[in-house]
């Protein structure tokens, strides 16, 4: 039998998940600034005091929604970067990771991308650090690929990263899981559209 403490920890986790789910749903429907913490508590069936036990403020909720996908994304991108694959292959894998995260965390991603500008500066900074980590990982793949002669080096590294990630990120606007294309099909197409153009063709003097 699980200990009382384990049960309590599990209940706490469950309650926090429920609060986050309700928050994502309300932020999605009526906007971050149009939703009160009181409303989130009521909808989640939790008293105000219990709610504040789990979250410190509405901004913390938005940050927690970001955590739900960024931690997994960084973790999976680090795994991709650490493989022995070529730079074009790694970039295709990166596209696959981002599309799969957008698929599995659609409400959190949507709400976060719409509403991140509403976060207080200090909180935004900690989030920017995580996004910088994503950027560094992708930039490293592009730079290594250029150095190895696998990628064209006449296009700016940052614009390549912004282009590839932008193509994927924008999918939060139109991609719905279970509709016409799977995230794998989209990733495969985007791999052609965004990556083939920057791959150095084999013949060019190597």
Residues of the shown chain interacting with its own copies in the complex, contacts defined by CB under 8 A: 28, 30-34, 113-115, 117-118, 152, 155-156, 159-160, 162-171, 173-174, 181, 185-186, 189-190, 192-199
What distance in Å separates the CA atoms of residue 98 and residue 111, rounded to the nearest whole number? 16
What distance in Å separates the CA atoms of residue 189 and residue 87, rounded to the nearest whole number? 17
What would the two tokens of residue 115 be?
Answer: 């509403």
What distance in Å separates the CA atoms of residue 145 and residue 153, rounded to the nearest whole number? 9
Nearer to its own copies, 50 or 192 (CB): 192
Nearer to its own copies, 75 or 196 (CB): 196
Nearer to its own copies, 17 or 184 (CB): 184
Nearer to its own copies, 73 or 171 (CB): 171
Q: How far apart are the first and last CA of the chain?
A: 64
Whether residue 91 contacts residue 195, with contact meaning beta carbons closer than 8 Å, is answered with yes
Q: How far is the CB of 47 from its own copies (least distance, A)?
A: 26
Q: How far is the CB of 147 from its own copies (least distance, A)?
A: 19
Q: How far is the CB of 7 from its own copies (least distance, A)?
A: 39
What distance in Å separates the CA atoms of residue 73 and residue 81, rounded to the nearest whole number? 12
Q: How far is the CB of 161 from its own copies (least distance, A)?
A: 10
């Amino acid at each position: 039998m699980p200990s009382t403490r384990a049960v309590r920890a599990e209940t706490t986790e469950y309650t926090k998940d429920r609060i986050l789910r309700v928050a994502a749903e309300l932020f999605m429907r009526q906007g971050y600034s149009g939703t009160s913490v009181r409303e989130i508590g009521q909808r989640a069936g939790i008293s105000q005091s219990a709610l504040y036990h789990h979250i410190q403020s509405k901004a913390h909720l938005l940050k927690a929604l970001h955590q739900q996908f960024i931690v997994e994304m960084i973790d999976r991108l680090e795994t991709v970067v650490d493989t022995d694959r070529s730079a074009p292959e790694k970039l295709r894998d990166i596209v696959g990771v981002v599309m799969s995260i957008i698929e599995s965390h659609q409400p959190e991603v949507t709400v976060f991308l719409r509403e991140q500008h509403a976060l207080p500066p200090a909180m935004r900074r900690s989030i920017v650090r995580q996004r910088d980590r994503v950027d560094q990982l992708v930039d490293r793949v592009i730079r290594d690929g250029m150095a190895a002669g696998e990628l064209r080096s006449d296009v700016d590294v940052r614009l390549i990263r912004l282009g590839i990630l932008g193509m994927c990120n924008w999918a939060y606007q139109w991609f719905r899981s279970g509709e016409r294309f799977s995230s794998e099909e989209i990733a495969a197409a985007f791999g052609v559209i965004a990556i083939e153009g920057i791959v150095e063709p084999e013949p060019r003097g190597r």
